[in-house]
Structure 1
Amino acid sequence: MSRKQQHFAAIGGNEQDAIELLTQDHNRVKDLFEKFEMLQTEEGAESDKLDLAQQICTELTIHTKLEEEIFYPVAIEEIGQLDIMDEAAVEHAAAREMVEQLAAMAPEDECFDAKVKVLQDMVEQHIAEQEGKMFPRLQKNRMDLAALGERMSRRRRELHFIWTWACWAPRWTGRG
């Protein structure tokens, strides 16, 4: 797969069902956390740590919006309000708070690495619950995961554009 194809797939440009799309997100963010862990023992890796933390926060922000705006409402309609849905809402709120805290920090700040690690633990727990409990129920229900995946892919591209513009526009326009 070319670099361009990989980038397009990463922002939701491939035909994927909803569960494949979310699982791909899960794998991507787990890889980013692993890369961050490897940098924790390196001297002078603050810039790389900041880049990875920003990537993690971006991925989680977009992923959370996709789940909350599109995936969860359809899932609830299909299989009902499960305890895991309530837990996911609480986990999302906690992750959002942690992302906001990390956005206001620098890698040199006390507890930066610890906050990334706590966020990693929260995300990995969320992923295990989702992939182990929610996804299998949805797959058994025979809902139209392909159509849902298409909706989510379109929204992912929109969110990616918005996020990129919000992050880079101040630098491009001289206001940042």
Structure 2
Amino acid sequence: MTDVIKLITDDHRAMEKLFDRVKKERDRRPELLREVAAMLTAHSRAEEERVYPIVAKEAEERGKVHHGVEEHQEAEELLHELEKLDPAGDEFDGRFREFVEAVKHHVEEEESEILPSLRDAVGKQRLEQLGQAFTDRREQELAGHKAGAKGRTRDELYQEAREMDISGRSGMKKDELAEAVEREKDL
């Protein structure tokens, strides 16, 4: 089992890479923004429901936990605003920068304050148990978003499968493409 701190920081790095893709791959922004939304929501819910209560209780960091939840809410509000904008428009770029800065600020605080407090308060075995709880809740949340992949067109799914170099994609039906793309994302 992997400890929860590694899982959370790995998610942070994956989110940063996804932000870079949104900046660079302008033509894929709608699809990538859906991925950002799924990842951010799943990560936040898993932290708030499985990790933060332990940080508040065991590390006695209620104030920092409350602040972390507020930052999650701020990021989600900014994300909802982004989803309403034209991804090719100038306003999108400015709002996206604001969103990324808010998330980066949260990540820096979490990695320098909340997670070290958790590590100091609980043992390795507890960190691994929390890792499993975090993963389970995160995957549960992502499963709801994955169902949304089936709402995309076959062409969108095929394009993503091509970019992921998924073999056999040309003969796949829409549902098969959705499953293959999601499987590849999980690797």
**Which category of TM-score, normalised to the shorter sequence, fits these structures?**
0.7 to 0.9
Q: 1:85 aligns with which of 55, 65, 69?
A: 65
Larger radius of gyration: 2
Q: Which residue number corresponds to residue 137 of structure 1?
A: 117
Whether contact under 8 Å (2:86, 2:92) holds in the other structure is yes
What is the alpha-carbon distance in structure 1 between the residues aligned to residue 29 and residue 145 of structure 2? 20
Q: 1:161 aligns with which of 143, 146, 160?
A: 143
Tell me the TM-score normalized by structure 2: 0.73
Secondary structure of 1:33's aligned partner: helix
What is the alpha-carbon distance in structure 2 between the residues aligned to residue 60 and residue 160 of structure 1? 10
When the two chains are superposed, the root-mean-square deviation of aligned CA atoms in Å is 2.1
Q: Which residue number corresponds to residue 24 of structure 1?
A: 10
Structure with greater helix percent = 2
What letter matches 1:157 in structure 2? E
Tell me the TM-score normalized by structure 1: 0.78
Whether contact under 8 Å (1:53, 1:116) holds in the other structure is no
What letter matches 2:139 in structure 1? R
Matched residue count = 153
- For 1:15-164, list aligned pairs within 5 A: 15-37=1-23, 39=24, 45-143=25-123, 144-164=126-146
Larger RCO of the pair (alpha carbons < 8 Å, separation 6+)? 1
Structure 2 segments unaligned to the other structure (5+ residues): 154-173, 176-187
Structure 1 segments unaligned to the other structure (5+ residues): 1-14, 40-44
Whether contact under 8 Å (2:29, 2:87) holds in the other structure is yes
Secondary structure of 2:150's aligned partner: helix
Displacement of 1:53 in angstroms is 2.2
What is the alpha-carbon distance in structure 2 between the residues aligned to residue 50 and residue 170 of structure 1? 11
User: Identity over aligned residues, as a percent?
Assistant: 24
